[in-house]
Chain A
């Protein structure tokens, strides 16, 4: 038998220190991150004197003129997120039901690898495809009204395609996790497959399905690159409709930083947008946890 490099007790200590250090590092990074965003973002209000209320409710975002009303950005962000969810949800749920309840063999062998492939495509590629396909389609369908084709609707569609794999995969996992005993119980009472899917499977998978949707929403909310490529992103006033070009919180951030000097009011205002984004994401995560806790409670 090989000689031990270190006495056993000492080895245990090393393991504890190493893993503990990893945890500490992660915690430090998270705290530092939150601290930095908060510090930079809050200085827009406390150092540069921007009024928080008018920052949230102002309907015009023109940093070059010193006008900081983030409402159009917030509205657009929620708009594209909700559109994306609206488009994605039925398709994701429909295919998940097909894969789990109707054709499990096909689902596991062909469909799931395909969807996972989609998940690996970088967002810039989605943006490119959106730019050439979606925007062109908008022009073809709506004509003059669509302008260049860039707008909230295009953003929503591209985001829908982007989050589709995530929401689908998580929905499949959620449905597959429903114990077969529930299905058997339902069939044994004379219920058809669709009655069983509707009244038992979907109902008991509800917490995981909600989590899937909210994770998709979070992703849609935070995505910048692909959206920026298809949404237009120069107009900084309230969008007039689904076809109008607009800017989201994220696209305003990415496009704004190139012409903001470090430490300026404009610079801090952009950090404040970042803070807003982070707060929203935290709220989403919180909701997921609440749903998870409620689901665990329901299961007894």
Chain B
């Protein structure tokens, strides 16, 4: 259990078809332009990391992918974001969110039992029998590496778990709708090192049959989990490349400066 999570073999990201495609995308909060002419492909069944200094628009872009930005008053967009070839702004936002799940910075399990937390998404879509419910709960908790810890207390409140367990519960909850993409906004920034390591391992695991997009302030985390990394600065995408390449051989001076810690 205590084994240190080790660096993964980065997988190729160039010969993979994109599941999300951003084309000349701009976003304004009322008058403030938070994203400027972003063009970017998110490779399918890979982990992609967004890095960059605070306020550069990482969360904004991530929250565009599942249209959580819709809830902010005064948001205006220009350009195209495609999910599996479909313009996300022309599809039903709720249907999109079933396929594009999200895990938040602060673990936010609902004030319900662990079981109810997992089944929350699926049971909004269809009636589940007891058996189907049990299967989903076990599958998702196992997938989120939480099953062994909670299998005896599925009917206890999710809020009674530790922070790291809560975050894995949130991952399991997101998996329950069988999403293609999992968006994670600084998912480990509120966690202790051991929990962080578990969640990182999970991200790598999941990225074999899900597409994972993670926002992180932790460079090591990006190198550990992401196959591809994109660096943002002041609302612009400065550089995107396979992770190893971006970290060992950044093309842009601002990327070099950021990676060497000259600003943060």
**Is the CB–CB distance between B68 and A299 below 8 Å?**
no
CB distance from B118 to the nearest CB of A (A): 11
Q: Return the contact of A186 from the options B95, B101, B106, B120 (Cβ within 8 A).
A: B120
Q: Which residues of A contact B170 (CB under 8 A)?
A: 185
Q: List A contacts of B68 (CB < 8 A).
A: 184, 187-188
Q: Mark A274-300, 1 if CB is under 8 A from B, else 0.
A: 000000000000000000000000111
Q: Does B124 contact A (CB under 8 A)?
A: yes
Q: Determine whether the beta carbon of B124 is less than 8 Å from that of A199.
A: yes
Query: Given the interface contacts A184-B68, A300-B160, does A189 sit within 8 Å of B108 by beta carbon?
Result: no
- Assign chain A's interface to a size class: 20 to 34
List, in ascending order, chain A residues with CB within 8 A of B120's CB: 186, 189, 191, 199
B104 lies within 8 A of A184 (CB): yes
What is the predominant secondary structure among interface residues of chain A facing chain B? helix
Given that A181-B106, A300-B157, A300-B159 are contacting pairs, would A189 and B111 also be in contact in the complex, using a CB cutoff of 8 Å?
no
A189 touches which one: B98, B109, B160 (CB < 8 A)?
A: B98
Main secondary structure of the interface of B (DSSP, over half): helix
Name which of A182, A185, A191 has the most chain B CB atoms within 10 A of its CB: A185
Q: A204-B111, A300-B159 are in contact. Are A190 and B106 (CB under 8 A)?
A: no
- Decide if A54 is an interface residue (CB 8 Å cutoff): no
Are B108 and A182 in contact (CB-based, < 8 A)?
yes
At the interface, yes or no: B45 with Cβ under 8 Å from chain A?
A: no
A188 surroundings in chain B (CB, below 8 A): 66, 68, 97, 101-102, 104, 174
Looking at the assembled complex, report how far the CB atom of B127 sits from the nearest CB atom of chain A, in whole angstroms: 14
Report whether A298 and B157 are in contact in the complex, using a CB–CB cutoff of 8 Å.
yes
- Complex: A188 Cα to B106 Cα, angstroms: 14
CB-based contact A189/B101 at 8 Å: yes
Q: Per-residue CB proximity of B140-182 to A under 8 Å, as 1/0?
A: 0000000000000000010110000000001001101100000
Residues of B that sit less than 8 Å from A by CB = 66, 68, 71, 94-98, 101-102, 104, 106, 108-112, 120-121, 124-125, 157, 159-160, 170, 173-174, 176-177
Residues of A within 8 A of B (CB): 179, 181-182, 184-192, 195, 199-200, 203-204, 298-300
Instruction: For the A-B complex with A182-B108, A300-B160 known, give 6 more contacts whose Cβ atoms are closer than 8 Å.
Output: A184-B108, A188-B97, A190-B96, A191-B120, A199-B124, A299-B111
The 3 A-B residue pairs whose C-beta atoms are closest, nearest first, are A190-B98, A300-B159, A189-B121
